[in-house]
Amino acid sequence: MRWFAAFFLVYSMLAQSSYDLLLKGGHVIDGKNKISAVMDVAIAGGRIAEVAADIPPAKAIKVVDVSGLYVVPGLIDMHVHVYAGTGQRGAYCGDNSVYPDGFTFRSGVTTVADAGSSGWRNFPDFKDRVIDRAKTRVLAFLNIVGSGMAGAVEQDLKEMDAKAAGEMALRYKDTIVGIKTAHYAGPEWTPVERAVEAGTLANIPVMVDFGTFRPERPFQDLVLKKLRPGDIYTHTYLGWVPMLDDSGRILPYLFEARRRGVIFDVGHGGGSFLFRQAAPAMRQGFGPDSISTDLHIGSMNAGMKDMLNVMSKFLNMGMPLEEAILRSTWTPAREIKHEELGSLSVGAGADVAVLRVEEGHFGFVDTYGARMKGTRKLECELTVRNGRVVWDLNGITREDWEGLGKYVAQGDARWDGTLAGEVRKRK
């Protein structure tokens, strides 16, 4: 009966615990709540339960020492391409996309927004095929083109139906966060105008990838006249953007566009981020409103790599760490009108990233292959999604194998971030 008594004792102790997980001693950065200090973060029932300077370890089932690390809200990457599995060759609604869970958690990302891979014709398939099956929270900008990013059809004005797109967005209003127009090569403003019409119908923002820059539709008119306050231009540091004058100074219209409420997002991608644009812009006060990757099979294997690599580039161009975190959490949450995300507010869903800032000699590459030297680089130590550990680089939530008993050796004791998991581990 001794095993039963031991089990009952452990269960009684756990039943008195207030929290499932306590991240102790880390430097918390939470832009929404204006926190940048060493604090503890407690999680219970999949939600943030307490953020305080010194939470007693006895109140938690599992305590993880995160001293020397940064504890931040789960990162939000609002420009990705994750409509994978359709088999369409060379398409972002197909082979160019990646399944999200393989590339998010390891970078501290818990929420993504697919940027127009699907349109109003094929969004239900995207939802069933990817969104409903992913552990990552997947939201979406709906393409104004019915078939999404499927190649030549993106040039077909007849496929750009504002009413159909707006109605689809309203039908899935918890998941569709905006309308996307991208890659258009013609001289007309039609894609932008219909995207704005759909966005107005559904009361959601528009994200624009301007495609081919044409004199008939100047970029300045896009951000000064066509886009509404709250609409998003992505690929801010693309080489084609008229950003600098002949003496290397930022053109004033960009500040004017920002004052009127247009959002400038990074959208790094495989061809849309140049240091010769970004570095002088940063020096002159024109940093991005939000940081995003434009993740796809090309960008992840080239200069972009992942969310933390993009954030690290901005750190090494002079952006304070607190600002890089803000622009990767609370700012994008507000931009997509999901203010329940992007913070460590008590009661919020427990999406958390624990980051390390490595000091050393590093190199970063832009989309033209140019290199920038840097001395700081972000790495993700731990990611928590809905209160459960989904990425643990160095096993800091685990116990050393030499100190564990036969149950672990037999594979019977797995801690999964829940009370039941801890009881199973300890019995």
pLDDT tens for 301-355 read: 999 999 999 999 999 999 999 999 999 999 999 999 999 999 999 999 999 999 9
The residue type at 325: I
Identify which has the larger pLDDT, 414 or 275.
Answer: 275
Averaged pLDDT score across all residues of the chain: 93
206-208 vs 176-181, strand pairing mode: parallel
Confidence of residue 417 (pLDDT cuts 50, 70, 90): low
Residues 6 or more apart whose Cβ sits within 8 Å of residue 128: none
| CA dist., res. 391 & res. 29, Å (int) | 19
Q: CA nearest 416: which of 403, 394, 398?
A: 398
| CA dist., res. 126 & res. 131, Å (int) | 7
| The pLDDT of residue 105 is above 50 | yes
Q: Over the stretch 26-74, which tens digit does the pLDDT of each residue have?
A: 999 999 999 999 999 999 999 999 999 999 999 999 999 999 999 999 9
Q: Over the stretch 151-194, which tens digit does the pLDDT of each residue have?
A: 999 999 999 999 999 999 999 999 999 999 999 999 999 999 99
The reported pLDDT for the residue numbered 403 is 77
Q: What pTM value is reported for the model?
A: 0.93
| The pLDDT of residue 287 is above 80 | yes
Q: CA nearest 42: which of 59, 27, 29?
A: 59
Tell me the H-state helices in 130-224.
Answer: 162-171, 190-202, 219-221
Q: CA nearest 144: which of 109, 189, 176, 179?
A: 179
Q: Over the stretch 205-251, which tens digit does the pLDDT of each residue have?
A: 999 999 999 999 999 999 999 999 999 999 999 999 999 999 999 99
| The pLDDT of residue 297 is above 60 | yes
User: From edge to edge, which strands make up the β-sheet containing 137-143?
Assistant: 75-80, 109-119, 137-143, 176-181, 206-208, 232-233, 263-264
Domains, the chain, with CATH or none: 2-68+397-426 (2.30.40), 74-345+370-375 (3.20.20.140)
Which uninterrupted H or E stretch holds 265? none
Cα-only R_g, the chain: 23
